Amino acid sequence: MGTLYPKSGEVSRSWWIVDLDGQTVGRAATRIASLLRGKHKPIFTNHVDTGDFVVCINAEKVRFTGRKLDQKQYHAFTGYLGGMKSVTAREMLATKPEEVIKAAVRRMLPRNALGRSTFKKLKVYTGGEHPHSAQNPQPFAIPSDK
């Protein structure tokens, strides 16, 4: 009898909602990445997308520990000479808070086609409102650090 692997069409996908209010960026990102990959399911297989959809709200209320707000840098390179753009975490959180969460989760997923398709199931929003109420997302509680 051989090993049964789940097929991508047979996987049932749930929708989770994660409230990021007061959560640490890295600790929340690890839990979100595990949900996206499907590591919480008994049918998890690392070469098949068995994960769920994740909706994150209140992205502007996440926090960094230590002095990361001023020391952590987000880099973007245009490809031209002198085209390196660097922004601190404080500036990024003030202008594009959803990108802080997306960058943290993206770096915790595999760097291949499976990771790119998995990342598309992540939805991040500032504020408490989201347009995915028709999918009836279930709340997912991330334990607090304190």
Ranges of H-type helices in the chain? 25-37, 68-71, 89-95, 97-106, 113-119
pTM: 0.93
Which has the closest alpha carbon to 22: 56, 67, 55, 58? 58
Return the CATH fold of 15-139. Ribosomal Protein L13p; Chain: A; (3.90.1180)
Q: What are 49-72's pLDDT values in tens digits?
A: 999 999 999 999 999 999 999 999
Residue 141 has pLDDT above 80, yes or no: yes
Q: What are 82-140's pLDDT values in tens digits?
A: 999 999 999 999 999 999 999 999 999 999 999 999 999 999 999 999 999 999 999 99
Instruction: Indicate the domain borders of the chain.
Output: 15-139
- What DSSP designation does 25 have? H
